[in-house]
Amino acid sequence: MQSIRSVIAGFEAGVNDRRINEILYDRTKSAALSKELGWLKHVAERTGFTIRECDADEIDGLSLGRTHGGILALCSERTISPLKPENVKENGFYVMLEGIEDPYNFGYALRSLYAAGVDGIVLDERNWMSAAGVVARSSAGASELFPMFQAKPTDAADVFGAKGYRVVCADIDTPHTLEETEIRFPVFLVIGGERRGISRALLDRADLKVKISYGREFRASLSAASAATILGYEIFRQNRQN
C-alpha cells in the first residue's frame, strides 16, 4: 500500500507521470482493507482509475512475491526526462547511482537518499527503473517521489559543473575521508556499485573524491545502499539548517 500511495502522491505533485490504471484487491480481504479501499475510492474519483475485486490467485499471478497484502496497482510506464540545466535547482543535492547491478540494492539506496533530503536522482542509460515494481517496494515508495532524470555520467557532471555544483565521487583510492572533508551544497554526488564502481571517465571529472573509513581492516566494499546511506546522511548533516 505504501508504494500505491507514493505513485499517487508523485503523480499529484507533478514529480512523475506514472498513472494508476486499475486497483485490484482480494475479495476475501475486503473487510481488512476497508480503510485503504475507502481512501482509494475517493482518490479514484479525481484521478480516474478503477477498482476491482478479484480472486487471490489473480493478484498472486501479477505481483512480485506474496507480500502484497491483497492489493495491487496496475500502472502506466514512467517517463524519465533527459537531464537539462533548467531541471537543476540552485544550491541543491543530487545523486547519481552508477553501476548498481541489483534492483533491490538500487531501491534500498533510493530509500535512504530520499530520507536524507536529496533533491533528485540522475540515472545512466542502464538503470533499474524497468523493474519499477521491485524498486518501488524496496525503496518504500521513494522511487515514485523523486524527480528523476537520465544522462550519460560525464554529461551529467558537465551539466552540474556548469551550474556551479561540486562533483563528488565516492572512491576508496583517495586520501580524503568523509568525516574529515567539508562537503557543502550545491553537490552532485556519484556512488558506484560494489563490483563495477564508478567509471574512470567520471572519476577523472570529479572535483572531489571521498572515501568512507572502516573501523578495521576490511578489503570488501560496502553495498551501494549502505554507502548511499552513510554519504547521504553525512552531507545532510553538514548542510543542515539549525
Report the CATH number at residue 153: 3.40.1280.10
Q: Are residues 47 and 67 in the same domain?
A: yes
- Residue 191 included in any domain: yes
Count of domains forming the chain: 2
Rounded to two decimals, what is the model's pTM?
0.92
- Residue 43 included in any domain: yes
Q: Are residues 140 and 233 in the same domain?
A: yes
> Of 177, 198, 196, 175, whose CA–CA distance to 188 is shortest?
198
Q: What residues does 93 pair with on adjacent strands?
A: 187
Three cell numbers written together for 170: 565516492
> What is the 3-class SS of the chain, one letter each residue?
CHHHHHHHHHHHCCCCCCCEEEEEEEHHHCCCCHHHHHHHHHHHHHHCCEEEEECHHHHHHHCCCCCCCCEEEEECCCCCEECCHHHCCCCCEEEEEECCCCHHHHHHHHHHHHHCCCCEEEECCCCCHHHHHHHHHHCCCHHHHCCEEECCHHHHHHHHHHCCCEEEEECCCCCCEHHHCCCCCCEEEEEEECCCECCHHHHHHCCEEEECCCCCCCCCCCCHHHHHHHHHHHHHHHHCCC
224 close to 109: Cβ distance less than 8 angstroms? yes
pLDDT tens sequence for the chain (242 residues)? 899 999 999 999 999 999 999 999 999 999 999 999 999 999 999 889 999 999 999 998 888 766 678 999 999 999 999 999 999 999 999 999 987 878 899 999 999 999 999 999 999 876 667 688 888 989 999 999 999 999 999 999 999 999 999 999 999 899 999 999 999 999 999 999 877 789 899 999 999 999 999 999 988 888 999 999 999 999 999 999 75
Q: What residues does 26 pair with on adjacent strands?
A: 54
Please name the amino acid found at residue 48: G
Q: Are residues 140 and 191 in the same domain?
A: yes
Domain that holds residue 39: 20-75
